[in-house]
Structure 1
Amino acid sequence: MEITLRAIDADNWHACVKLTVSEEQKQNVADNGISLAQAAYEKQWYPHGVYADDMLVGFLMFGTDPETKRVELCRYMIDKQYQGKGYGKAALAKLYDLIKIRYGPITFYTSIVPENHAAKKLYEDAGFSMTGEVMWEELVMVKQL
């Protein structure tokens, strides 16, 4: 399967808000509908669907945080029925390519809820490392692109 990232728009937003994570993951991941509303009003955020061929399997959102001025991945999820298939790591590789095109070689950030061990492993496997910083009660991670 080919993994692609596609901007969320009038054609796919409804499918995006239907994506879900397991009950135990819900405390670690923002609701996609809230993220899309945020992107509608805060224009520095760019929401994208993660597709495996033509099937929407996940969601991510990146942009420049107005407080820190850092380019960051602020939302990331793979639907519960598609987890464990390698889509998450493959989508991060596609995101890195997109970030390099949009911003050039930069320092790229994300953060995780401390208890989200699966996200920590995914991000570390994809090249992120811990900074030791805590923001918004989350652990900050960084990757040089």
Structure 2
Amino acid sequence: MISLVKVSEANWREVTELKVSDEQTVHIESNAQSLLEAAYDTSLDWHPYGIYSGDDLVGFAMIGAYNLEERYIWLDRLMLSYDVQGEGLGTEVMRVIVEYISENWDVSEIVLSVTPDNHVAIGFYEKVGFQWLDKTDPANGEQLMSMKI
């Protein structure tokens, strides 16, 4: 069973120890950097979560930059630890994230950005229902995708 647990004093160290494969590090910030962003970039109201499969921490997600007027929110980070990738958890993780967002924010769209050469992530996001937006994030050059919910 997949669940999202807020990152807290109890689990932040374990969250920062999660790693993607060496090849994937060019595509995503470390969880430690994401937690710093959540703590200090308060204008975007980031919400960091550990992703658990039962009692085991298997990943990390960060949600925020909620836009009430346009009814969208960012899925700014999503990672599964390298040692559980390929086990079929991704689709269930995304289902849980979408359900959680729907229950906690009044949104009709989830937005994310992806590096154009991250073909594995792009394939996954397309598989679970994200579509390309004709936009690029000016902060980092990543391409934007969205999912209507």
TM (norm. structure 2) is 0.90
Deviation at 1:42, TM superposition (A): 2.5
Deviation at 1:65, TM superposition (A): 6.2
Residues 67-105 of structure 1 show CA distances to partners (whole Å, capped at 9, x for unaligned) of xx7511111110000001122221111110111111134
Say which of 134, 141, 145 aligns to 1:132. 134
Find out whether 1:34 has 2:33 as its counterpart: yes
Counterpart of 1:112 in structure 2 is: 114
User: How many residues get paired?
Assistant: 142
Counterpart of 1:4 in structure 2 is: 3
Q: Is the 8 A contact 2:46 2:62 kept in 1?
A: yes
TM (norm. structure 1) is 0.92
* Amino-acid identity (%): 32
After TM superposition, where is structure 1 displaced by more than 3 Å over at least 4 residues in a row? none
Q: Which amino acid in structure 1 is aligned with residue 9 of structure 2?
A: A
Q: Is the 8 A contact 2:133 2:146 kept in 1?
A: yes
Counterpart of 1:57 in structure 2 is: 58
* 104-113 or 5-14, larger mean C-alpha shift: 104-113
CA distance in 1, matches of 2:27, 2:66: 19
Q: Secondary structure at the match of 1:28?
A: coil
Unmatched tracts of structure 1, length 5 or more? none
